[in-house]
Amino acid sequence: MVSNEDQQYKGIIQLLRHFGWTWIGLLVVDDDSGDHFLQVVEPMLSKGQICSAFSKRIQKQGRFPAMSELTGMVDSISKPLMDTKVRVVLFYGDTTAFMWLITFLLLSDLEEHGCIGKVWITTGQVDFAVNGFTRGWNFAIFEGAISFAIHSNEPGDFQSYLQNVRLSWTQENGFFKDFWEQAFSCSFPSPHVSANAEKICSLKEKLESLPGPVFEMSMTGHSYGIYNAVCAIAHALHLCRSKHRATVGGRVTLQDLQPWQLHPFLQAISFNNAAGERISFNDDREVVTGFDILNILVFPNTSFLKLKVGSVDPSVLAGEEFVIQGDMIVWHRCFNQVLPLSVCNDFCPPGYQKRTKEGEKFCCYDCVPCPEGKISRQKDMTDCFKCPGNQYPSKNRDGCIDKVIHFLSYEEPLGIGLTSVSFSFSLITMLTLATFIKHKETPIVKANNRDITYALLVSLLLCFLSSLLFLGQPTKVTCLLRQSVFGIIFSVSVSCVLAKTITVVVAFMATKPGSSMRKWVRKRLAYFIVLSCSLIQAGICGVWLATSPPFPDLDMQSLTVEITAECNEGSVTMFYLVLGYLGLLSIISFTVAFLARKLPDTFNEAKFITFSMLMFCSVWLSFVPTFLSTKGKYMVAVEVFSILASSAGLLGCIFFPKCYIILLRPEMNNKKQLRMRKN
């Protein structure tokens, strides 16, 4: 009447995992049951990530071995127990094998080597009880042991029955007589016993006066199983007799029954015993019960007490079968009531991961720091893992820290500097425009296509101001506008430069006698160039915004400790197409200006345009690799700098010489000088 042993094995594995014991010793009785135990338990240990440091067999001796043989047995058991890493030892065997184990341990004298504490785990086959042979032995080495015992409960009136037991009731029972003499250390008068014996049994001894290890007043698991077995047989006999009476009409005696005839009735019974527990059998003809987990408390007077600290109950809901109250457990005195560790090596702390040692069991490993960019929050992690995108690893790689969202703001020094430069050049551009408007009737302004000059200055002013769209936290509006506005305005600026250059070339060619180019020397050509080139860029930007527009985004991967608030360009192809078109216009402008640099142009403007476009192209050619090699807000800073630098190059190279003549050398700004330069 015991539960399936598989439940006990599962409970042992759960107990080991609960306390984190992964490096244990195995002591197993050397017989068929021990072989079966190892075949079942060792795969379960491996599956539960538990290793056995050693596995030793204990032979059940029918006789006391010779001294040399005994010494070998003692050494075989005691030497592995000297390993201080192995704090937990699992013993499987019956009570006889356990008595031999005690004998070997007492003969080994382990205590001479210091306090070598062990947590002994025993199975339900072992009964911690003192008999005549072991009375007086020191069980201190088993202090704090954890024993799996067959589940027991106490029927009503069991205590009062034991308290009233007298040997006089069963004087003819030889078992009671032998038990009484051993338990009370007395002898009954007989011809073989001297009248001067130390103690004569008085027949008035009481069982409750015996120490607990000698006789337990509570019902043990084995006794409870026997009790339930007797009750089950009684119920089965009752059902059998009832059925026989109903079908045959006669009575049946015990002598008429064969044991196999009771099997169907045993399978069908279900009853409540005197302890109030339901007793029944499952489909495998096994009783539905479990195991109690006991903690063995050893006292200085060599007596001990069994304290229930948990259970394994297969009848409850899945996942709740195993219950343990760890705070109730009293450990061996060597552990100072601190939970003992039984591991091959120290746990890997957070920030480290396990690395298996070659040639050793998987429970033995080295601890190596987590790789760059990964963490481990718990001890003994097999693999480190990456933090979420919005977090980054701590310095010790044992946790994740929230990243700070950053962007190129107006308040930081870099943003303040770029904003100041943008407004400064915008102011200079407005002053230049005001100067040209004020002196619009002077030859130098008229000679350089006054309307295109105004358009170029206005577009440069807008270029400087468009850089402000790249500063501050990106929003849906700023992301939609900044690249498109920048691309269209810059195309207007470069188109104006191209129009001015082509106008110079056409004007020179029209001065030749009989030239057919004179009809092109009109403002309409310049307007056409500016308008057509700008509309092409506007069309590219329109397609971009219609198909895959930019949008606010968070870049969590580029930087380790920061999240970059940026504008996702949507279509990278369209972004580089806009830049490519600007590059094409600038290259054409540079080429035309370079070819026209030696023409007798008024005030030699082609030379300045050549230099300005050379500077413009240099800035944007260096922009692409620099932009791709930077991350975060510095990518934005690179683009803003490129916008300001290229715009400032056009403004300075084209308009500074003219402003110099208008403001500082007005004597050169007249028709006489113009004619002299033409001649």
Residue 168 lies in a domain: no
Q: Are 619 and 449 a contacting pair, CB within 8 Å?
A: no
What are phi and psi for residue 390, nearest 5 degrees? -95, 15
Cα angle at 322 between 318 and 323, to 5 degrees? 125
Q: Which of 102, 306, 145 minimizes the C-alpha distance to 211?
A: 306
Please provide the DSSP assignment of 475-534 as one string.
-HHHHHHHHHHHHHHHHHHHHHHHHHHHHHHHHHHHTSTT-GGGGG-SHHHHHHHHHHHH
Q: Would you say 88 and 340 are in contact if contact means Cβ atoms under 8 Å apart?
A: yes
pLDDT at 14 over 70: yes
Are 575 and 650 in the same domain? yes
- Among 160, 190, 209, residue at a domain's last position: 209
The mean pLDDT value for 575-589 works out to: 89
In this prediction, residue 225 has a pLDDT band, given cuts at 50, 70 and 90, of confident
Half-sphere exposure of residue 578, counting CA atoms within 13 Å on the CB side?
A: 24
223 and 320 fall within a common domain: no
Hey, how many other C-beta atoms are within 10 angstroms of the C-beta on 476? Answer: 12
- CA distances in angstroms from 266 to 117, 240, 263, 281, listed in the order given: 46, 10, 5, 8
| 253, 225: one domain | yes
Residues 29 and 45 placed together within one structural domain of the fold: yes
Please give the C-alpha separations between residue 203 and each of 169, 171, 189, 211, 216, in angstroms, as whole numbers: 10, 10, 11, 18, 20
Report the distance separating Cα 418 and Cα 641, nearest Å: 7
Q: Is the domain of 225 the same as that of 145?
A: no
End-of-domain residue from the set 278, 310, 335: 335
Which residue type is seen at 427? L
Look at residue 612 and tell me if it is in a domain: yes
> Is a pLDDT exceeding 90 seen at residue 324?
yes
Same domain, 203 and 245: no
Confidence of residue 19 (pLDDT cuts 50, 70, 90): very high
pLDDT, tens digit, 9 for 90 and up, residues 83-120: 888 999 999 988 788 888 888 887 777 666 556 788 99
Give the number of residues written for the chain: 679
Contacts for 469 with CB less than 8 Å, ≥ 6 apart = 478, 481, 482, 485, 486
Whether residue 612 sits in one domain with residue 538:
yes
Alpha carbons 26 and 4: distance in angstroms, whole number: 21
CATH number of 568's domain:
1.20.1070.10
pTM for the whole thing?
Answer: 0.62
Higher pLDDT, 201 or 342: 342
Residue 308 lies in a domain: yes
Rg over alpha carbons for the chain, rounded to the nearest Å, is 50
Position 91 in a domain: yes
In this structure, the answer to whether residues 197 and 308 fall within a common structural domain is: no
- pLDDT over 80 (residue 488): yes
211 closest CA partner among 139, 318, 145, 123? 139
> Is position 23 within any domain?
yes
- Return the higher-pLDDT residue of 10 and 136: 10
Pairing assessment for the beta strands 551-555 and 404-406 based on DSSP bridges: unpaired
Is residue 249, in this structure, part of any structural domain at all?
yes
pLDDT score for 654: 84
Cβ contacts of residue 128 below 8 Å, gap of 6+?
Answer: 122, 142, 145, 147, 213, 294, 296, 304, 306
Domain count, the chain: 5
Contacts of 361 (CB under 8 A, 6+ apart): 51, 344
Distance of alpha carbon 324 from the chain centroid: 27
Provide the pairing of β-strand 322-324 with 304-312.
antiparallel
Which residue type is seen at 200? I
Residue that is last in its domain, among 160, 189, 209: 209
The DSSP result for 582-625, as a single string, is HHHHHHHHHHHHHHTTTS--GGGHHHHHHHHHHHHHHHHHHHHH
Q: Do 230 and 305 have their domain in common?
A: no
* Contact yes or no for 64/93 (Cβ under 8 A): no
Q: Which domain holds residue 367?
A: 352-402
The answer to whether 135 and 214 are in contact (CB under 8 A) is yes
How far apart (Å, rounded) are the C-alpha atoms in residues 175 and 164? 18
**Per residue in 38-76, pLDDT tens?**
999 999 999 998 999 999 998 776 666 677 777 888 888
Q: Which residue has the higher pLDDT, 202 or 11?
A: 11
Domain check: are 465 and 552 in the same one? yes
pLDDT tens digit string along 534-565? Answer: 999 999 999 999 999 999 988 888 788 888 88
With beta carbons less than 8 A apart as the criterion, state whether 558 and 407 touch.
no
Beta bridge partners of 291: 150, 312
CA distances from 513 to 302, 374, 447 (A): 133, 79, 21
Residue with the larger pLDDT of the pair 163 and 329: 329
Cα distance between residue 620 and residue 578, in whole Å: 12
What is the DSSP track for 134-169? TTT---GGGTT-EEEEE-----TTHHHHHHT--GGG
Write the CATH number for 51.
3.40.50.2300
Whether residue 506 contacts residue 520, with contact meaning beta carbons closer than 8 Å, is answered with yes
Residue 132 has a pLDDT of 44
pLDDT of residue 679: 45
Phi/psi of residue 610, each to 5°? Answer: -60, -45
- Domain membership flag for residue 383: yes
Q: Is the pLDDT of residue 660 over 50?
A: yes
Contact 288, 321 (CB under 8 A): no
From residue 323, how far is each of 250, 290, 320 by CA, in Å? 51, 12, 7
Report how far residue 107's alpha carbon sits from residue 113's, in angstroms, rounded to the nearest whole number. 13
Is residue 169 assigned to a domain?
no
> How far is the C-alpha of 289 from the C-alpha of 5, rounded, in Å?
11
Pair (331, 249) in one structural domain: no
| Together in a domain, 51 and 121 | yes
Q: pLDDT: is 444 or 1 the higher one?
A: 444
- pLDDT of 626 reads 84
Beta-carbon contacts of 255 under 8 Å, excluding residues fewer than 6 positions away, are none
